[in-house]
Amino acid sequence: MEGLFMPFAELSDVRCYYELAGSGEPVIFIPGLGATSQAWLPVAEHLSDEFTTICIDNREIGQSVSKRPPHTVSDYSADLAELFDHLQIEQAHIVGISMGGVIAQRFAVDHPSSVGRLVLISSSYQFGPYLREIAQLVGQIMHRFPKHIFARTMEVLGAGPLHLDANPRRIDDKIRQLLEVNVSTKATMRQLRALGASRFLPNEYRIAAKTLVVAGEFDSLIPHCYARQMARLIDDSHFVLIRNAGHNPIMESPHTLMPLIREFLCSGRVINFPDHEYELSRQNVA
């Protein structure tokens, strides 16, 4: 990526690694459970001609080091606020996938004036009994089995079946990539616990930013009904269901996802693909 910088930010509790490229309005990309900044590089490369892209490693993951485990989703939000100060950013667009979307929501609630536009992919605003059971199952598999079995399980559960049928080597390729990244099992387990304990207090969930909510039709890890429910709680939101995609549309549906994100960040509008389900929020419908 042209103009790529890979520095660290010394925050209160974290030595935070990030990759910065491009120029223009800043966009911060937050990865999901156990993932690093590398997961966002294809999207960042796509957008760096119009935006300053900032891909981060969450605390304890990748090259970021935490001085104070364990932690909560609010701690991730506080890390992000400190990174804003470190980079002298007053406002940025925020894009988060899966757990990164949960962190992005927490930040948008805690720091509403700091968020320009918000993109939430394969995420949920709360973890009720069903999603907590999924989190516990994922944790048990991670704790009891080798990393390659955990990686294979996550890929099969998260992938859209038609995408997997059309790309049978995807599983082995993805497992190879995951094993090349030094991700601590203990750190990922702490992420899971933070995710399972994430809560918004009654009447606390208020997101002012214009928001794009994206979900995959065949996401088994966080089914799209939760994303749709989340979108309906955000006054100024758009919901897009990507057909045939699973939990990771960055990999499965890049030719759909990247134009969606670009158009939304540039104009606040959403490309309405004819073969995808599209829904406006209450405010937009009214």
Report the CATH number at residue 172: 3.40.50.1820
**82 located within any domain:** yes
Tokens of 272: 């309405």
Q: Is the pLDDT of residue 262 over 70?
A: yes
**176 located within any domain:** yes
**3 located within any domain:** no
Tokens of 170: 């995807």
pTM: 0.91
Is the pLDDT higher at 114 or at 253? 114
Lowest mean pLDDT among 12-16, 197-201, 244-248: 197-201
Is the pLDDT higher at 28 or at 221? 28
Side chain identity, residue 188: T
Per-residue pLDDT, 156: 79
Evaluate whether 18 touches 9 at the Cβ level (below 8 Å). Answer: yes
Range of the domain at 206: 8-285
Domain count across the chain: 1
**2 located within any domain:** no
Q: Is the pLDDT of residue 139 over 80?
A: yes
**256 located within any domain:** yes
**175 located within any domain:** yes
**81 located within any domain:** yes
**116 located within any domain:** yes
Q: Is the pLDDT of residue 15 over 70?
A: yes
User: What is the rounded CA–CA span in Å between residue 195 and residue 216?
Assistant: 20
Predicted confidence band of residue 285 (pLDDT cuts 50, 70, 90): very low
Average pLDDT over every residue of 92-113: 97
Distances (CA, A) of 156 to 46, 161, 243: 27, 8, 17
User: What is the rounded CA–CA span in Å between residue 168 and residue 61?
Assistant: 28
Predicted confidence band of residue 59 (pLDDT cuts 50, 70, 90): very high
Per-residue pLDDT, 286: 34
Per-residue pLDDT, 153: 80
Residue 18 backbone dihedrals phi, psi, to 5 degrees = -150, 155
The full DSSP string for 31-71 is: --TT--GGGGHHHHHHHTTTEEEEEEPPTTSTT-EESS-S-
